[in-house]
Amino acid sequence: MWIAQAALYGVLKGGRDVMKKLALKKSSIVEVLFFYTLLSLLLLVPDIKEAVEIFDGAGLYLPLIFVKSVIIYIAWMCSFKAIEKLPIGFYGLMDMSRVVITSVMSIFIFGEALTLGKAIGMVLVIDGLVMLNVSKNGFEGESVKFRYIALTLISCLANSCSEIFDKWFMRPETGVTAAQLQFWYMLFLTVLYFAHIIIKRIKIDWRMLYKNYWLILLAVMFVIGDRALFNANREGEVIALTLLKQGAVIVTILGGRFVFKEKNTLFKLLCAVVVVCGIVVGIV
């Protein structure tokens, strides 16, 4: 079951990356981030009763959930700026750098075993990224600036830290449920983006809540995907989960081709095939 849930998260994540770029054509980065998180929080209102029950035994974890929210706040600020400027297929491939970062963290923090299969899987994933970066013509004609690659890598590091938190929170001994984690971190995240708007004195158009319909789709896909991921963390190891989630790259590459008319799709898919082979080898 956890394999299917992690795979579902990967597909929805790839779809979200495409929709984020579409949403950014109608709204500013801050507007998308704030409304995206606000709508996601509203979708989680039915879980409020269970969320409040965290004070019965796991309330001490709320400060750490807030830390996770701050990490995601930073990650999304970086990733949205990168998504706005980079070809979505390129972003999807670069985003897979988190495979290596998260896997190394899980080995040292949770003591997960780096089996031969997982090691080969990681090597294949890295090979896919190397193929992308050393090619002289893989992204010919597409604007790829180092600044946005750096923002993508910062986002990967922050997201990797968040993934480690997810696994830690979902251990049975913490007593934190998937609904509680999801509700509280979305509440904290919404507050953080609202505070950003107030402090920076950024004007936002509240009409975007219903005008930019991509925001609604983003929120729905995010809530479903994150719930599946949190549940998958109950059983799956971090390395295997991280490898599975990289299936998102296929969706972003295809979205880049059919939605944004990006070039060199065959080359990108070749890189993705290498990565997918790594995923299969790593979890079998």
- Asked which of 50-54, 61-65, 166-170, 239-243 is least confident by mean pLDDT, the reply is 239-243
User: If 0-12 CB within 10 Å is exposed, 13-18 middle and 19+ buried, where does residue 269 land?
Assistant: middle
Structurally, the chain folds into a number of domains equal to 1
Q: What is the pLDDT of residue 33?
A: 94
Per-residue pLDDT at 222 exceeds 90: yes
Q: What is the pLDDT of residue 275?
A: 75
Q: What is the pLDDT of residue 125?
A: 72
Residues 88-116 have a mean pLDDT of: 79
Q: What is the pLDDT of residue 169?
A: 95
Domain span at residue 216 reads 2-283
The top-scoring range by mean pLDDT among 3-7, 86-90, 91-95 is 3-7
Per-residue pLDDT at 133 exceeds 60: no
Q: What is the pLDDT of residue 135?
A: 52
Residues 106-111 have a mean pLDDT of: 88
- Asked which of 50-59, 209-218, 267-276 is least confident by mean pLDDT, the reply is 267-276
What are 21-76's pLDDT values in tens digits?
899 999 999 999 999 999 999 999 999 999 999 999 888 899 999 999 999 999 99
pLDDT band at 140 (very low <50, low <70, confident <90, very high): very low
